Chain A
Amino acid sequence: MKTLRIKKHPILGPDDFRNTVAFTYNGKTINALEGDTLAAALLANGIRSLRAHEESGSPRSFYCNIGHCFECRVTVNGKEGVRACLTPVSRGVVVESGKKLPLPFKDGGEK
């Protein structure tokens, strides 16, 4: 699959001068570029799904990309509910997708 990175742009110019930064997402090493947000770095690596809906488990990604909708919340170094679209990548940071939560009281308990 072709890369989603926009290296050349007729008005904005080239984007060739950023250092790479590695972090982990769900245990996998992701190579990002300095200045990327977590959401941008993951998308550039072909990963859209950032969490499972807490109740239904359906996959979710960023929606507004500027911090308002909170759809992209992930866990960063153990801190839950961090917005991937506003968080810059940093070396060695451990990112995990939001997980489906148990529903012990719904319909008499989950099967």
Chain B
Amino acid sequence: MIDCLIVGAGPAGLSAAIACAENGLSTMVLDEFMKPGGRLLGQLHEEPNGIWWNGIDEAEKLYQRAKALSISFHLETSVCHLEKVDGKYWTLHTDKGKFSGKNLLIATGAAEQSLPIPGWTLPGVMSIGAAQVMANVHRVKPGHRGIVIGVNVLSAAIARELLLAGVNLEGIVLPPRYLLTKGQSEPKDVFQSLLHMVHLAPSHLMKIGGKMALKSSFIRKMAVGTYPKKGFKVWGMPIKLKQTVTEIIGKENVEGVKVASVDSSGNIIEGSEEILPVDFVCISGGLYPLAELVSLAGCPFKYIPSLGGHVPVHDHNMQTPVEGLYVAGNVTGIESAKVAMAQGHLAGLSISSQKNKVSDGEALQNARESVVSTRTNALIHFHPDILDGRRRLYG
């Protein structure tokens, strides 16, 4: 029987598989997609040193290391159910048959929250992540001209990637306020959250301005009040905090969007509606842990908004209260791929130390410290209170 089954071939799953195999565990990785890498595939951003982080290359490096360790891969394989047999081992039910193993690591990542704006089921409306995968992985533009709804770290990063791929964007606007998206629909709240990513801004002036605004509520109020309707251009693309999309229009496909101006609290200004012609729309409502399989395994959950919602209870070694069940990556809370890799490595060592009955205290300690330092130094924080969220889990 396999020592460790891993669901998800993303940054966490691959890193965990490598750590398991390096410590002598027989390891199997399953993933629905046709290529390994998970959401590393398509990620593209500029590091502070000016070097581009290319997720496709990172995924390939991890995959080659895993292959060299004789880890077995089942791609294009969907896990639809799992069970613990005789309280001893795990069996995964997939569309390619059953697989059993002594330990199970679930590294299924995250899913995107959608925003049901009128017209959102039309062909041409997609999640922001869908556009990223279409452009950077499949090398097909999501359309000829589009608009992004939802102003956040993820949408800004992917909008920049779309521009790099030569896609035309009208800009990034807010979702309408009535969609129970309070924090995402009020210009003053969104402006506040944008300030936490101001260090990524392309110009030095914006960085200084942003830091001042972060410290002073007066500057923030002034800035939101005088924020221009046309938006500020970042990387040549306007971020429009004073505009919202009220409807997506089209018969067979997206033909345009109805946009309206809003005041600082997100109220629509009457008579300001106009129609913009676009052939695709990206919706960015944020990410949440994709944890259905973890809950099937009987793991308890905790609700921690700064980590993206309901997260499986687990300790600082990535072990859950369910014996033989481990978690790593975005299923434990929304963070960057580098944190997921560090968590995966830790989970792999943690599983190995159980099996080998050796108290490899030092290696585990180093891996735990690496997760913490990667988290602290992360370029992008999906939520300003991630560290507090983590404290609620690990104490």
Contact = CB atoms under 8 A, between A and B. Distances in A.
Interface of A: 1-2, 4-12, 15, 36-37, 40, 43-44, 48-50, 53, 58-69, 71, 85-86, 88
Given A4-B140, A6-B139, A68-B290, A61 B129 contact: no
Interface of B: 32-34, 39, 44, 52, 54, 56, 76, 78, 111-112, 114, 121-127, 129-131, 133-136, 138-144, 164-166, 252-253, 290
Contacts of B34: 37, 86, 88
B123 A6 contact: no
A66 B129 contact: yes
Contacts of B114: 63, 69
Nearest to A42: B140
B136 A86 contact: no
What is the interface of chain A mostly: helix, strand, loop, or mixed?
Answer: loop
A61 B124 contact: yes
Nearest to A36: B138
Nearest to A43: B140
Nearest to A61: B123
A62 B166 contact: no
Given A11-B54, A65-B129, A49 B253 contact: yes
A11 B160 CA distance: 12
Contacts of B56: 12
A48 B124 contact: yes
A60 B123 contact: yes
Listed from nearest, the 7 A-B pairs whose CB atoms lie closest are A65-B130, A61-B123, A48-B123, A40-B138, A4-B141, A6-B139, A15-B139
A84 to B, nearest CB: 12
Contacts of B112: 64, 68
A15 to B, nearest CB: 5
Contact of A63 (B54, B127, B139): B127
Nearest to A15: B139
Contacts of B78: 67
Contacts of A65: 126-127, 129-131, 133-134
Nearest to A47: B123
Contacts of B123: 48-50, 59-61
Contacts of A63: 114, 125-127, 130
A67 B33 contact: yes
B67 to A, nearest CB: 19
A2 B145 CA distance: 12
B138 A64 contact: no
Contact of A11 (B52, B139, B253): B52
A10 to B, nearest CB: 6
Contact of A4 (B76, B125, B129, B144): B144
Nearest to B135: A6
B143 A64 contact: no
B49 to A, nearest CB: 15
B45 to A, nearest CB: 10
Contacts of B127: 63-65, 69
Contacts of A61: 122-126
